[in-house]
Every structure is written in structure tokens, then in C-alpha cells.
A and B are shown apart, each in its own frame.
Chain A
């Protein structure tokens, strides 16, 4: 089990004074699905990017914490008691990824010349390596034992301790792609290059399935999807939770995806704050009535 906790998060754009977040509080546990809803410009995407460590934003107040439990990353990695809570704001984006945080992008980058297989295997191995470094007890004086003797065939690459080799990885990738109903040819294509909007979204979910995060923040993963693709993506999200126990923070404008991915909690964001939380029925109310009633309710009581 892991818990992502946003406490009183205030943030502005790094180059400028525009304050975007005015005290966001949120908690997501692994195994849960939370929906974060709100009109455009309310700070949803900013929140997700800050969790992942995007350099365009500067946190002016508050914390983003991740709490881990013993055995969070399997038996191989021992998490000492004093290393079970991390302030993500002090960490690089890749270190956050190693601690089990995943951001599904609304507009993922297209990287020419880098195949999906190569990228995902590299990412997976980088995460394993970073994790070992983060939880190492300061012992073994920085032993970067560069392995000079490739133990396996060149096709396998030098599978260092804990690293996943090529053929093992290919099996994993094939399996996950099958689950998401993705064509095998995607494995050889360049990362997001020339992918349709729907394919990109599917690819984000695939990456989460491969990297097995504890918490995944999915930024408008439903935008631009036709109904078939929406179902595929939704199935993928559900199995992230059901099969891997990932906690999901689903950012969305619409009720639509929530018909397929049923949230445990729904949070409404207005003007850089979470102003109201409730169960799945809250999303249905939004669908019927829009955001105005929330605004009225919040600002009248305030």
C-alpha cells in the first residue's frame, strides 16, 4: 500500500507571478480510484504536473508526500522505516518515478528514433536502479561496478543484477499489449511518433502497466477518444487497479469515462483548490448541473 498526500499545496508558474494553486489537499491510496474534476483553468493539470516534478511550476507552500509500506516494491527491496515517507518536492522527476509515481500525459511527447521497446525497457531498468539507490543504506561506498564481461549473448545485453533482459522484457511487453488490445507492431514504432490521439492515450496506460506505479495520475486520458478506444483505455485503467493495486487519480472534464472507471471518490477543483469531495454520485450531479451550483455553494458558505 502507498498513499499520495497533497497538503495545502500552493504553486505558481516558475517564470512569472501567476499563482495557480491556492492550497490543494488530496489523498489517494493505492487500490483506489479518485476522479479530479473541474472546469478549464481550475488547476487540475498543474496539480498533476507538480506531482511529477515539472520544472515550469514553483511550489510556494505546502507538501507533496508519498507514504510507502514495507514490501511496497516486492521482497527484493527492503524499505527501512525511516525511508517510508518522502517529500516528492525534494526529488527529481525520475526519483519520483522510482518511488512509484506515474503521470499519464494529456499530450505525450513524440520521440523520433526511439522505439517503444527500447524506451520502455530502458525506463524499467532505470527505475529499478534508481530505487536501489534510494533505499540503499549508504553502505557499499558507491560501488558502480561496471560489468566488463557481458555474461549473456550480445542479443541479451549485459543483464546486470536485477535488470530485465531483452527477451524477458519482450514477453512482458507482448502480454501487456495484448491485454490492452494493442497491435504488436507498436513495439517497433517510435515513441508516440505518428500515433493517433487514441493510440497515444492507450500508450500511456500501457506504460503504466509496464512500470507498475503505486500511484498513477492520469491527466485527461479520456480526451479525444472514440467510444471503442474509451472502453479499451478504461479497461486498462481498471486492470491497473485490480491487477496491480495502483491508486489512480483520474483527471477529467466529463462523466463519460466514469461510466467505465468507477471512482471511489470524486473531487471538484475550482480556482486552484479542491472545494468539494464526494462519492461517484457527485460526478453525476456535475453532469446534470454543471459547475455553477458548486461555485455558488462554495462561495456562499465561505
Chain B
């Protein structure tokens, strides 16, 4: 535990996540997925026709597609009744586009985000912050210095109206089309809120841009859409945090993330998610990377009943690079199925995947990965490393690294380790004065260090703290 971590540890993370507020809704859709619900969302947002058409088309695709059921070791989705999920709740706030002055937020929402540490985070050198409550972004602020350079950071609904050309071109067209999978189709039909980030050519946004998503109501679905367009030579780091309190009914989170990394651009997308243990977390996240572009995915997946999440990079241009660093933690009754996908579709492309998972009390983690190197993608290289750490004999961890290599002039490396937390390691630390719990925490903190190292300190501390709480079994 470094001193910074000690310092920030003092805030009570457990209390921060477990509180819930009374529901506040101005417009709440009915349950289930019908054209009526989709139209209600589109009407309520006063959307242009093209977006309404896209939603309805996605809805049709959704109904035509089967749920994934027969993947080996796949999380059980039978308890997820999408017809019972409320897909859209617009919180009752004065301004539809969200406010840019923190004090204008209603007290309970302000209080929610303050407990989650959002305004604090902003004070710590972020370029901009967005906060979504239920289905709508309620707060959005971008520092002026970035606005002056042409950087756009706004909520996705607003972007549909204010930047229709960019959105029309990129929104669920080439990157994540609704036909990709059932949850992408669902997302396309009922998406709401999320972030739009646009970075003009050769602009480097030195400080991270942050968005926070909070689901507060019981039995709801959150479907935020994030679209990041990084023009040639630009650079940006986007961070997303998510959480929800625990309710009796299941919640569903099915976000969509599309990242366009143009020539020589560099995008880092970091996420620390801590869903309640009854949330189904089924997302589609993908980046298209042009020549010499770099995409970095950093994710910590905590909480949820079941997670299926495989961030994907399509390395489309020569010399494109991808890095994946992911960590998953599964406790009792949880199945975290996560991994990475990379398509090497051009020569001289490079990918690195580092996946770490921790399971305890019968939790299950899977690494599910796919690396595809297309014929002609010569001199490409990929290195995959998966490490699983288990606390006990009841927990399980599977590694399913698929490799499809169609080109011979490539460099492919795969390495996997699975281990139980070693008794000798614990004894060693104990003999130096750490008690059993602290010894385990230290070993786990060391295990995830490659991830925390990549994150801004507040997030690193948060992630460590969350994992400590998970290990104590004190998060619901």
C-alpha cells in the first residue's frame, strides 16, 4: 500500500456505493421492448428521424437475434428477463442537457455524485467531467482551454442534435453495428445518454476526460453510448466509472462504446466498473484503429452478477497498435466473463493483451479472447498473457484464448498462469508482521499492480479499495 493509497483510503468506499436514493423520474418508459417504448424514448428526446429509424431497425434486429447460450463456460443469462427491465428513466431535472454548474443539480443527485467522489475527481486536474444519472446526463463540464482548441465533450443525446454529420457517420455504422450481437441491437434500440468526445487533428488533451454513470432505480436498464472520434495525430484519455446500488430485481447495463482512432492518433479508454451483484453487465466496446494509431483499453470489472465484455480493436491501418489490460474479480455467485478481441487486418500491427483475474468464494472468472491475424497482415505481432489467482478450491477460472492466424510472417506469444494464493507467500508476509488479511490484500494488490499503474491515482486507489472490500466480503 503506497502512501497515496493510505491517504485516500480514509474515505468510506463501502458507504459510497451502497446508499440509494428515492427514485426521481420525469419520464419513465414501460417495461419491455416494443416499438412504443422506442418511440417514447425518441419522442422524449425530440430526435431527428434518422436516429428514430436507426432505433427501430435495431429493435427489429434485436427481436430477430437469439441470446448467446451455448458458448463454453458462458454466464447463465436465464434469470435475465429483459421484458421486465425498464429501459428508460429520465430523471426529473430542470435542464434537459444537463447543467454545467455543479450547484444547479438537485440536492439528492448532487449528493449521490459527491458521495461517489465525482466533484472531487474534477478538482484533480481533469479536462472535463460528465455525470449520468439513470438514462440522462445531468452534469457536463469541459474546461474552456480545451473547448477553445475545438475539443468537444458533450452528452450523446445533445451531440445527435448539435453534430449530426459526425454522429450520423459514426454512430453504430461501421464500428458496432446493431447486427453485431443481441445486446448491441438492444443497445441500438434503447440507448440513452453517454458521452461524445471529439478531438480535432493534432490536438493533445493532456488531462483525462471523465464520465460517470450511476444507476439508481430498481429494475432499470442503463444503455449509455460513448462515441470517441480522435482525428489524425490527436491524443486523449477517456475514463469511465460506473456503479449501482443493490436491489431485489435485476438491473441490466448494456452500454455501447465506439472509438475511432484515426492515423497516428492515440486513445486510452479506462474504466472502473463496480456494479451491484444483481446487475447483468453486457456491453459491446470496439475501436477502429487507422495507420500508426494506438488504442489502449484498461479495465477493471468488479461487481455484477454476470459480465460479458470483450473490448475489441480492429487494427485496420499499417502499424496500428493495441494494448489491453484487464482485471476481473468474481466473488460468491458471480461470473465475470471478460477478455479481449483484436483483429490484425494490416501489416506491421501489434497487440498486447494482459489479463488478470481473481476469484474467491466460488466465484467464476473466464478469460475469453480472440486474436485474428488476417492473411497479408505480415510482420504483425501479438502477445497474450493471462494470469488467474484463486483464493480457494471452490472458485474457478477458465482461459479460452482463441487464435486465428492466417498469415505466416507473424510473431505470436501466449502465456497463461493459474494459481491459488500461495500459503508460503502468505506465511512469508505474516512472519514479517502482517496479519492474514493484510497479507492477502498485499498479494492481490501486487497482482493487479500492472493495471493500477496505468490508471490515474484516484482510480488506482479506488480499484484497490474496491478489491479490498470485495475480499472482506463487505460489498453487497
Contact = CB atoms under 8 A, between A and B. Distances in A.
B434 interface: yes
Of listed B423, B429, B433, residue having the most chain A CB within 10 A: B433
A65 interface: no
Interface in B413-450: 422-425, 427-436, 438, 442-443, 445-450
Of listed B1, B3, B423, B438, residue having the most chain A CB within 10 A: B3
Given A146-B10, A150-B10, A157-B4, A123 B446 contact: no
Given A126-B433, A166-B3, A108 B428 contact: yes
A98 B433 contact: yes
Contacts of A148: 10
A2 B425 CA distance: 28
B433 A127 contact: yes
Interface string A240-277: 00000000000000000000000000000000000000
Contacts of A190: 446
Nearest to A156: B3
A155 B1 contact: no
Contacts, number: 109
B2 interface: yes
Nearest to B8: A154
A127 B438 CA distance: 12
B3 to A, nearest CB: 3
Of listed B4, B10, B446, residue having the most chain A CB within 10 A: B446
Q: Per DSSP, are chain B's interface residues mostly helix, strand or loop, or mixed?
A: helix
Interface residues of A, number: 43
A113 B453 CA distance: 10
Contacts of B431: 52-53, 93-94, 96-97, 102-103, 105
A119 interface: yes
A122 B438 contact: yes
B3 A154 contact: yes
Interface residues of B, number: 31
A94 B424 CA distance: 14
B435 A154 contact: no
Interface string B438-476: 100011011111100000000000000000000000000
Contacts of B448: 113
Contact of B449 (A92, A103, A112): A112
B123 interface: no
B436 A154 contact: no
B435 A111 contact: no
Nearest to B442: A114
Given A111-B443, A113-B450, A119-B442, A92 B3 contact: no
Contacts of B10: 146-148, 150, 158
A124 B7 contact: no
Nearest to B432: A123
A234 interface: no
Contacts of A146: 10
Given A94-B435, A126-B433, A109 B447 contact: no
A101 B424 CA distance: 18
A37 interface: no
Interface string B1-30: 111101110100000000000000000000
B427 A114 contact: no
B423 A55 contact: yes
A83 interface: no
Contact of A105 (B422, B428, B430, B447): B428
A93 B438 CA distance: 13
B440 to A, nearest CB: 11
Contact of B7 (A119, A127, A154): A154
B197 to A, nearest CB: 29
A219 to B, nearest CB: 11
A123 B430 CA distance: 9
B422 A122 contact: no
Interface in A88-141: 92-94, 96-98, 102-103, 105, 108-109, 111-114, 118-119, 122-124, 126-127, 130
Given A105-B428, A150-B7, A113 B433 contact: no
A16 B450 CA distance: 40
B1 A112 contact: no
A113 B5 CA distance: 15
B427 A55 contact: yes
B428 A122 contact: no
A73 to B, nearest CB: 13
A118 B427 CA distance: 18
B49 to A, nearest CB: 52
A157 B3 contact: yes
Given A114-B446, A118-B1, A211-B433, A93 B6 contact: no
A207 interface: yes
A216 to B, nearest CB: 11
Interface in A54-72: 54-56
Contacts of A94: 430-436
B428 A157 contact: no
Nearest to B447: A113
Interface string B99-113: 000000000000000
B446 A130 contact: no
A138 to B, nearest CB: 20
B108 to A, nearest CB: 24
B16 to A, nearest CB: 14
A61 B322 CA distance: 61
Nearest to B441: A122
A119 B425 CA distance: 13
B2 A92 contact: no
Contact of A97 (B422, B430, B446, B450): B430
Contacts of A150: 7, 10
B2 A118 contact: yes
Given A112-B449, A154-B7, A158-B10, A122 B442 contact: yes
Given A55-B423, A105-B428, A155-B3, A126 B434 contact: yes
10 contacts: A93-B430, A94-B431, A94-B433, A97-B432, A109-B425, A111-B442, A122-B1, A146-B10, A154-B3, A154-B7
5 A-B pairs with the lowest CB-CB distances in the bound complex, closest first: A113-B446, A157-B3, A113-B449, A127-B433, A93-B430
Interface of B: 1-4, 6-8, 10, 422-425, 427-436, 438, 442-443, 445-450
Given A92-B430, A94-B434, A123-B432, 16 more contacts: A53-B430, A93-B427, A94-B435, A97-B430, A98-B433, A102-B431, A111-B446, A114-B442, A119-B429, A122-B434, A122-B438, A126-B434, A130-B435, A157-B3, A157-B4, A211-B433
